[in-house]
Chains A and B, each alone.
Chain A
Amino acid sequence: MSVIKAENISKKYIIDHKKGNAPKSTLREVITDTFSGLFSSRDRDQETHEEFWALKNVSFEIEQGDRVGIVGSNGAGKSTMLKVLSRITEPTQGRISITGRVASLLEVGTGFHPELSGRENIFLNGAILGMKRDEIKRHFDAIVDFAGVEKFLDTPVKRYSSGMYVRLGFAISAHLEPEIMIIDEVLAVGDAEFQRKCLGKMKDASNAGRTIIFVSHNLTAVQGLCNKSIFMKKGQLVEIGETNQVIANYLSHIQKTGLSSSWETPEDAPGNDKVRLKSVKIVPKYIGDLKHIDVRTPFKIEIEFWNMLDSANLNVSLHLNSLTGECVFNIGTPSRKFEKGIVKAECEIEGNFLNDGSYSLSFMVVKDTSTPLMNFEESLIFEVEDYREGVSWYGKWPGYVRPQIAFPITQLEYENV
Chain B
Amino acid sequence: MQEIVIEAGRTAKNYWKDLWRFKELLLILALRDVTVRYKQTSIGILWAIIRPVMMMMVFVFAYDKVAKIKDDSNVKYQVIIFSGILLWNFFATALQQVSNSITGNSNLVSKVYFPRLIMAISSISVALVDFLVGLVVLIPMLCYYGYYPDWNMLMIPFFLALTAMAAFSLGLIFAVLNVKYRDFQQIVPLVVQYGFFVCPVVYSVSKFQDEWWFKYYSILNPLSGIIEGFRWSTIQNYAYFQWSSFVPSLVFVIITTFISIVFFRKKENSFVDFI
Contacts A26-B183, A28-B183, A88-B272; A99 near B1 (Cβ below 8 A): yes
Q: Give Cα distance in the complex from A100 to B11, angstroms.
A: 17
Query: In chain A between 106 and 129, which residues have their CB closer than 8 angstroms to a CB of chain B?
Result: 106-107, 110-111, 113, 115-116, 120, 123-124, 127-129
Write 12 A-B pairs (CB below 8 A) sorted by A numbering. A27-B181, A27-B184, A84-B6, A86-B112, A87-B113, A88-B112, A88-B272, A95-B6, A106-B112, A116-B35, A130-B114, A156-B39
Residues of B within 8 A of A254 (CB): none
A92 touches B5 (CB 8 A): no
Asked if B5 and A127 sit within 8 Å, CB to CB, the answer is: no
Instruction: For residue A59, give the distance in angstroms from its CB to the closest CB of chain B.
Output: 13
Closest to B180 in A: A25
A residues neighboring B (CB under 8 Å): 13, 25-28, 30, 83-102, 104, 106-107, 110-111, 113, 115-116, 120, 123-124, 127-130, 132-133, 156, 179
Chain A CB within 10 Å, residue with most, of B6, B8, B28, B109: B6
B1 close to A179 (CB less than 8 A): yes
Interchain CA distance A357-B223 in the complex, whole Å: 59
> Do A127 and B6 form a contact, CB below 8 Å, given A88-B111, A115-B36, A120-B35?
no
A-chain residues with CB within 8 Å of residue B269 when the two chains form the complex: 89-90
2-20 of chain B: CB within 8 A of chain A: 2-11
B182 at the interface (CB under 8 A from A): yes
Contact between A13 and B112, CB atoms less than 8 A apart: no
Q: Kindly state whether residue B193 has any CB partner on chain A within 8 Å.
A: no
Residue B110 CB within 8 A of the other chain: yes
Which of B25, B182, B269 lies at the interface centre, i.e. has the most chain A CB atoms within 10 A of its CB?
Answer: B25
Q: Is the CB of A98 within 8 A of B36?
A: no
A92 B11 Cβ-Cβ under 8 A: no
Least Cβ–Cβ distance between A91 and chain B, in angstroms: 6
> Any chain A CB within 8 A of the CB of B267?
no
Residue in contact with A97 in the complex, picked from B5, B11, B109, CB distance below 8 Å: B5
Neighbour of A26 across the interface among B3, B114, B182, CB < 8 A: B182
Residues of chain B within 8 A of A110, CB atoms compared: 107-108, 111-112
Partner of A104, one of B2, B113, B182, B273: B113
Bound-state CA distance A86–B109 (Å) is 12
CB neighbours of B180 from chain A (8 A): 25
Where chain B touches its partner, the secondary structure class is mixed
**B74 an interface residue at 8 Å Cβ cutoff?**
no
By a CB distance below 8 angstroms, the chain A residues around B24 are 127, 132-133
8 A-B pairs with the lowest CB-CB distances in the bound complex, closest first: A87-B113, A27-B183, A96-B6, A27-B181, A127-B28, A115-B39, A98-B4, A110-B111
- How far apart sit A120 and B36, CA to CA, in the bound complex (Å)? 11
Task: Name the one of A30, A104, A127 contacting B25, with C-beta atoms under 8 angstroms.
Answer: A127
In the complex, which of the residues B1, B5, B11 contacts A95, with contact meaning CB atoms closer than 8 Å? B5
By size class, the interface of chain B is 35 or more
Q: Is A123 within 8 A of B28, CB to CB?
A: yes
Contact of B112 among A25, A92, A94, A104 (CB under 8 A): A104
Q: Is the CB of A89 within 8 A of B272?
A: yes
Contact of B32 among A104, A116, A179 (CB under 8 A): A116
The listed residue with most B CB atoms (<10 A of its CB), out of A86, A87, A123, is: A87
Q: 17 extra interchain contacts, Cβ-Cβ under 8 A, other than A116-B35, A128-B112?
A: A30-B181, A87-B4, A90-B7, A91-B6, A92-B8, A94-B8, A96-B7, A99-B2, A99-B3, A104-B112, A106-B112, A107-B107, A110-B111, A113-B32, A120-B32, A127-B24, A127-B28
- Docked Cα-Cα span, A148 to B116, in Å, equals 33
Is residue B40 within 8 Å, beta carbon to beta carbon, of the partner chain?
yes
Give the chain A neighbours of B113 by CB distance below 8 A.
86-88, 104
Are B111 and A107 within 8 A (Cβ)? yes
A133 to B162, CA, bound (A): 31
Q: Are the CB atoms of B36 and A116 closer together than 8 Å? A: yes
In the complex, the answer to whether B8 meets A90 with C-beta atoms within 8 Å is yes
Cβ B11 vs Cβ A87 within 8 A: yes
| Complex-state Cα separation, A34 to B5, whole angstroms | 39
The answer to whether A90 and B5 touch across the interface, beta carbons within 8 angstroms, is: no
| Bound Cα distance from A23 to B25, whole angstroms | 36
A94 contacts B4, C-beta separation under 8 Å: no
Task: Give Cα A133–Cα B23 distance, bound, in whole angstroms.
Answer: 11
Which residues of chain A come closer than 8 Å to B29, judged between CB atoms?
Answer: 124, 127
Nearest residue, chain A, Cβ from B10: A90
Q: Which residues of B contact A28 (CB under 8 A)?
A: 183
> B4 to A113, Cβ gap below 8 A?
no
Which residue of chain A is the closest to B33 with respect to CB atoms? A113
Q: A111-B107, A120-B35, A179-B1 are in contact. Are A95 and B7 (CB under 8 A)?
A: yes
Query: Which residues of the other chain, B, contact A94 by a CB distance below 8 angstroms?
Result: 7-8
B223-255 vs A, CB cutoff 8 Å, 1 = contact: the mask equals 000000000000000000000000000000000
A211 shortest CB reach to chain B, Å: 12
Shortest Cβ gap from A6 to chain B (Å):
9
Within the complex, the shortest CB–CB distance from B23 to chain A, in Å, comes to: 10
Interface residues of B in 24-66 (CB under 8 A from A): 24-25, 28-29, 32, 35-36, 39-40
Q: Is the CB of B9 within 8 A of A90?
A: yes
Closest chain-A Cβ to B271's Cβ sits at a distance in Å of: 9
When distances are taken between beta carbons in the complex, the residues of chain B under 8 Å from A130 are 114
Docked pose: A106 CA to B29 CA in angstroms: 20
Q: Could you tell me the distance between the alpha carbons of A93 and B32 in the complex, rounded to whole angstroms?
A: 37
